[in-house]
Amino acid sequence: MTDQNKSRVTSLRSFLLIIALIFALFITHYIISVRVPGPMIHPIKYKIITGTFAFILDFSQFVELIFGIPYYTTLNTIVDSLDQVKIRSFDHGQVLYHDQYIDDVLVRIYTPSNMSKTLLSPVIIFFHGGGFFFGSIYSHDTMTYHMSMYSGAKVISVNYRLTPNIHYPISIEDSVKVTRYVMDNYQEFSIDPEQVFLCGDSAGGNIAVVVERHLRRKQKTLIRGVLLLYPLLQLVNFRLPSYLTNSPYNILSLLREDILTQVTNFYVNTSFTKNELFKNQHLSFDDYNYFYSKVNLEVSKKDHINAKSHQDTWKLFNENISPLLADDEILHNSPSTFIGACTYDVLLSDAQLYFQRLQKLNVKDIIFREYRIFHGAMTFVDFPVAFNEAFDIIHDCAQLRVDRTKLYDITGHLLFDSLLNSNGIRHFFYFMGTEKQAERVLKAFNVLPTSPPAYDDPTNQDRGEVHVAFHLGPGICGHKGIVHGGLTATMIDEVSGAAAFSCVGPCFTANLNIDYIKPLLIPAWVLVRAHVERHEGRKVYVHSFVENGEGEIYAKAVALFIKPKMSVQEHIQQK
């Protein structure tokens, strides 16, 4: 080897060594040092995401120091630019989307590709999170795409203006403008004006609540429901239990005391310091009493209470800034509401207190779900940072619109409540139609194993035939890697019962005979299809199959269902 070649090899080794050293320093400083707030399925993935955000924040603040460009501008630019270059591995044409302006506000509209061309569609108007200063229709694109796909509804994602270039109430005004225009011009968007839902995550949840109340006061057509995903519902008390528990972990490197202080100051145009807010030094004794009387709690004895309020504290009690603290009369008239909260989140107490207030006021159709995952998880539904719990949240909130007349609390149902989770039955979808259509859906599932298309063909709902696609997770095995036979029986019983129900209404399983043909391996999508073989008076005979949609059958069954002579309620009363 010549001296020149040796020199090149030495230079290359030195370069690679420097790269490896930089990478090792990055891993040590930004990844290994991340503290996981509690048990979760993918702690390493959480560390990588949080460490990456910490690096982007440090880089943005470095740019601000050197070039004077505000860190939040760089932060938004980096995140938004990912929408232009990301590989849309989840996008197989199930949802069509485009950008447009509505009354000078940019929106992104998602439309399921299998949506009826003649029927008016439900719509979910979505307001993104990000503390009012961060985020966009681009940062939440993957999440809103899946929301449209799971719900079968149009989704209109609103790109409202951000702080600190503007302050409250500009973000609200942008959001109200879009919502009113959509509702007033529903035919332009082919949407059902009686099936309008508002949805938001984090700060977007705050906007969704405030917009609904604004429209209610203006006596507009009532909003059908509100979907709140780990919502920010008050900016008064920063020493609630979830703040004390989760603040030390700096969730995602974004829920830090300094950034949350900026969230407040940017949005409300105030001048609080971090110590004032996070030690509640901005509150007087009267402020404390007022806050805790609103949320029906005793005043905390642990906090130092000042004799005098901060000069800006009064702004935080505005019900449009802290909607948790609205008067009972306003909360009492709230529409159907889904509240999805995260265990590892400083905002968990906000969600819990809001749910408790609605419950105490006997507001109908309220569902609260807590997920053992971190704040912001719903934005991570794309490879390689997807979390199963994120799909759970999107799926659960999307079901608020599945029944178009009433929101049902399905607590206690074996399939919906106990087994529906990331380790058990991750997702499932009922649809009607021919076997050929069902096979087409399953083929789509095989291409897209974590993001199934919701399928509903209203022109082909044959009475007595039901297909259900189940996404099975790793926690339902008998032998390792093989679905427990009891779970297979449960799926068959549920789907067969649905087929029988379509003929005679409420009925009970009298007999169920199952032939197990081959092991069902997990994780997997499977199709359970059932059809009524014959119907004799109160008796319904159902045949069912568990398969992959391509002719491979795992189990088949014959069942007998009997319609009772009296209703279930009458049976209970007799007992």
Count CB-CB contacts under 10 A for residue 443. 13
For residue 413, give both structure tokens: 């149902």
Q: State whether 373 and 436 are in the same domain.
A: no
Burial of 197 (0-12, 13-18, 19+ CB in 10 A): buried
Copy the structure tokens of residue 524: 């997997």
* Distance (Å, whole) CA 303 – CA 290: 15
Number of domains present in the structure of the chain: 3
Residues 428 and 530 in one domain: yes
Last residue of a domain, one of 334, 367, 397: 397
Same domain, 150 and 133: yes
What's the token pair of residue 519? Answer: 């092991």
Q: Indicate whether 272 belongs to any domain.
A: no
Q: Does residue 190 fall inside a structural domain?
A: yes
Q: What is the pLDDT of residue 567?
A: 54
Q: Name the DSSP class of 521.
A: B
Q: In 3-state terms, what secondary structure has residue 124? A: strand
- Answer yes or no: do 99 and 58 share one domain: no
Q: Is the pTM of this model over 0.75?
A: no
| Domain of residue 429, CATH code | 3.10.129.10
Same domain, 172 and 68: no
pLDDT reported for residue 414: 64
User: Are residue 439 and residue 391 in the same domain, yes or no?
Assistant: no
The reply to whether 403 falls in a domain is no
Angle of CA points 380, 381, 383, to nearest 5°: 95
Residues 56, 195, single domain; the answer is no
Q: Cα(101)–Cα(107) distance, rounded to whole angstroms?
A: 6
Select from 83, 113, 144 the last residue of a domain. 83
Peptide bond into 335 cis (omega under 30): no
Provide the pLDDT for residue 4.
65
Q: Let me know: does 251 contact 361? Beta carbons within 8 Å.
A: no
Q: Is the peptide bond before 169 cis (omega within 30 degrees of 0)?
A: yes
What is the rounded distance in angstroms from the CA atom of residue 149 to the CA atom of residue 155? Answer: 9
CA 82 – CA 87 distance, rounded (Å): 9
CA 215, CA 198: separation in Å to the nearest integer? 11
306 occurs within a structural domain: no
User: Who contacts 129 (Cβ-Cβ below 8 Å, separation ≥6)?
Assistant: 135, 140, 200, 201, 202, 203, 204, 205, 229, 230, 232, 376
C-beta separation of 60 from 78 below 8 A:
yes
What counts of helices (H) and strands (E) characterise the chain? 18, 14
Beta bridge partners of 191: 121
Strand positions, DSSP E, 103-190: 105-112, 121-127, 154-158
Each residue's pLDDT tens digit in the chain (575 positions)?
566 666 766 776 776 777 777 777 778 778 888 999 998 878 999 999 999 999 999 999 999 999 999 999 999 999 888 777 777 777 778 899 999 999 999 999 999 887 767 678 889 999 999 999 999 999 999 999 989 888 888 999 999 999 999 999 999 999 999 999 999 999 999 998 888 999 999 999 999 999 999 999 887 668 999 999 999 999 999 999 999 999 999 999 899 999 999 999 999 999 999 999 999 999 998 998 999 999 988 776 656 677 789 999 999 999 999 999 999 999 999 999 999 999 999 999 999 999 999 999 998 888 898 988 999 988 887 767 788 788 888 877 776 654 433 333 444 556 655 676 656 665 565 554 444 444 444 444 443 333 333 333 333 334 467 878 787 877 888 888 899 999 999 999 988 988 887 777 778 999 999 999 999 887 677 888 898 888 888 899 999 999 876 678 999 999 999 988 765 545 544 55
Tell me which residue has tokens 């009113």: 180
What pLDDT shows up at residue 300? 66
The answer as to whether 287 is a domain residue is no
Gap between the Cα atoms of 525 and 469, Å rounded: 7
- How far apart CA 396 and CA 124 sit, in angstroms, is 14
Evaluate whether residue 309 is within a structural domain: no
Cross-strand pairs, 427: 471
CB atoms within 10 A of CB 496: 28
**Per the omega criterion (within 30 degrees of 0), is the bond before 384 cis?**
yes
Lookup: tokens for 238: 């920063």
- Same domain, yes or no: 114 and 230: yes
Residue 154 lies in a domain: yes
**Domain identity same for 428 and 393:** no
- In this structure, how many other beta carbons lie within 10 angstroms of the beta carbon of residue 5? 9
Q: Are residues 174 and 190 in the same domain?
A: yes
Residue at 104 is within a domain = yes
- H or E stretch at 191: strand 191-201
Query: Which of 50, 83, 116 is the C-terminal boundary of a domain?
Result: 83
Same domain, 343 and 476: no
Q: Which of 433, 441, 343 is nearest to 392 (CA)?
A: 343
Cα–Cα distance measured from residue 91 to residue 448, given in angstroms and rounded to the nearest whole number: 9
Residue 378 carries which side chain, given as an amino acid letter? Answer: M
Show the domain range for 526: 413-574
Please give the full DSSP string across 142-163, using - where no structure is assigned: HHHHHHHHHHTSEEEEE----T
The answer to whether residues 64 and 97 belong to one domain is no
CA end-to-end span of the chain: 95
Residues with Cβ within 8 Å of 92's Cβ and at least 6 positions away in sequence, in order, are: 444, 447, 448
- Please classify residue 340 by burial: count the beta carbons closer than 10 Å to its beta carbon, then call 0-12 exposed, 13-18 middle and 19+ buried: buried
- The domain spanning residue 127 has which CATH number? 3.40.50.1820
